Amino acid sequence: MGKVLVLNASYEPLNITSWRRAVILLLKEKAEQVEHNGRVLSRNFPLPTVIRLRHYVSVPYKEIPLTRRNVLHRDSHTCQYCGFKEDLTIDHIIPRSRGGIDEWDNVVTACVRCNIRKGNRTPKEAAMPLNSVPRRPHSSLHFEITKHLRGGINEEWRKYVIGLS
């Protein structure tokens, strides 16, 4: 039946849960329904897609590790130079040999062809503009939410998550 976005009392996204767990939180009055997609569980109980906790929960900040998998996911498994989706590598915008470091804003997904073509140059020097500006993901929940949004489901989640276009 689907997943449900759980918001903190401050409307900050906390996690994604099953519809069953969300219904339990609603029945126990620990959360309130914010969004639904028109489907109903029973006659007067619409199936939630977004719920908000009634009490604020303090959550420690969690750093997202810079890994190949996370960079590929951030860039939607697409070459940031030509848009190709196969034979992908990681490219340093400022090459490591020229002082470039492993940071979220210095690495992008690139196909092998573009990576070789760019070589030991910056995108400007190679006349290869990036399709999007690389940046650190906003939250660890960002990856999970974008997976669900990619399929076109749970569009009502967009307004609650920073950085989704």
Q: Which fold has domain 68-118?
A: DNA Binding (I), subunit A (1.10.30)
If you search the block for the tokens 């519809």, which residue do you land on?
19
Span 107-153, pLDDT tens digits: 999 999 999 999 999 999 999 999 999 999 877 777 677 766 665 55
φ and ψ at 63, to 5 degrees? -70, 135
Structural domain boundaries in the chain = 3-61+139-160, 68-118
- Helix (H) / strand (E) containing 72: helix 68-74
- Assigned token pair, 33: 């329904």
Span 97-117, pLDDT tens digits: 999 999 999 999 999 999 999
The answer to whether the CB of 83 falls within 8 A of the CB of 131 is yes
